Structure 1
């Protein structure tokens, strides 16, 4: 093979690589727009009357999640190498957070990684290309914890005094779960370190309710 032929051969690989990166860029841009739209919808829950409309908000968010599935074009038509993972890591963390938050609003349960992947129309297996990495899922869950600490404060403002107690129980369980993990990923570890501040913030809300005699869950569960 001559020098010219060798470099022509290499150019073929470079062009193919660039084509894949461009495909990913387009998908990620669409996913980022979808994430912004979902966040706009779910942020309404922090308004005084927002939680009463959580069903409608989650339903509307669900339609946007459906759009995210359309963005990926289905896993079958978007098979890419896992080496490009960094291109979509951030947006999938945000979408994992939004999916986890929506599920919590509906059921007050923790979503699973498999459920998030299903909601987004992607895979959990790295070798299959566009997938939800376990660390990205955990990062999304930790972002949700911060959002719930904010919700605990706003619930009190809205006169819902039982919700912060339930959020506190949920976050404490979440914290206990993360303590079982041996986290070596530096970004994820730093994000997890922030969970203790969310726990403290919610505990302060619950304590304030307690000394004011308001920390009693209603018999109906405050739903």
Structure 2
């Protein structure tokens, strides 16, 4: 409401009260929109990191450089966006606007989990993700770096508490990238990676089965996780049983056909 419209409101004991409500709601909606934008930007940059990491398939000689570039992009761009989310929630309960930034945070967790798996062959822990959401700040100069040094007299900590549900949902998305990595690896001549990946994905799926269902989103992502696992199992089946009878240049096409057409008929 513009100032001229406010002036047209007849004077009453309730005018100031409702105007105060209006300003409070405007402030809340503006904050929500800023968080949505930061979350969207975080999603875009995280997807770019994931796409870059997929270049490792067939480029083991460039693996170190690709991982280094991914870490640099996370440090220089994504962490600054996450810091903006933290500043928007500073001294406020982050759960009030959780739905505004949760999608971007989950995509970031997926990117970090993919990076950790490619570099260390293990699942990123919740504590490690939380360290990315904890920043050292000095006076009014904010550093886009995770904490790791001792605090000085003029330093403070900014932190966004990680919701366990966001962590779990981000890990669920990781399995889709691992499935794509398996198929790409076969196309590049690596027949061992799918079998090594299968053990990890089965353990991840078993862990999800032990969790209590948390809303529609958890059920949907668990279903997608199961589908990704079944496709990797189909890849391993094709390599083990039919790998010797299918020419190398037709193997990827056979795997793509199997995973697309037969996954619904294949049970764990």
TM-score by length of 1: 0.81
Contact 1:152 1:202 in 2 (8 A): yes
CA offset digits 1:34-90 (Å, max 9, x no partner): 2243133123234xx234423222211111211222223377634243111111111
Structure number with the bigger relative contact order (C-alpha 8 A, sep ≥ 6) is 1
The 5 A counterparts of 1:47-66 are: 49-66=58-75
CA offset digits 1:113-165 (Å, max 9, x no partner): 2212323547xxxxx98443222211211111111112112211111111111
Q: Which residue of 1 aligns with 2:223?
A: 193
Query: 4+ residue stretches of structure 1 with deviation over 6 A?
Result: none
Residue 194 of structure 1 aligns to a residue whose secondary structure is helix
Contact 1:94 1:140 in 2 (8 A): yes
State the structure with more CA Rg: 2
Contact 1:74 1:121 in 2 (8 A): no
Q: Which residue of 2 aligns with 1:86?
A: 99
Could you tell me which of 38, 43, 54 is aligned with 1:27? Answer: 38
Deviation at 1:107, TM superposition (A): 0.9
- Name structure 1 gaps, 5 residues minimum: 123-127, 215-223
Contact 1:45 1:54 in 2 (8 A): yes
How far apart, CA to CA, are the structure 2 residues paired with 1:30 and 1:121? 19
Match status 1:114 vs 2:127 = yes
How far apart, CA to CA, are the structure 1 residues paired with 2:231 and 2:29? 46
How far apart, CA to CA, are the structure 2 residues paired with 1:52 and 1:171? 26
Could you tell me which of 31, 42, 62 is aligned with 2:53? Answer: 42
Contact 2:195 2:236 in 1 (8 A): yes
Q: Which residue of 2 aligns with 1:219?
A: none
CA distance change for structure 1 residues 178 and 52 in 2, over 3 Å: closer, same or farther?
A: farther
CA distance change for structure 1 residues 31 and 12 in 2, over 3 Å: closer, same or farther?
A: same
Residue 122 of structure 2 aligns to a residue whose secondary structure is coil
The structure with the largest strand share of the pair is: 2
How far apart, CA to CA, are the structure 1 residues paired with 2:173 and 2:43? 16
Could you tell me which of 68, 79, 86 is aligned with 1:69? Answer: 79
CA distance change for structure 1 residues 154 and 36 in 2, over 3 Å: closer, same or farther?
A: closer
Deviation at 1:4, TM superposition (A): 0.7
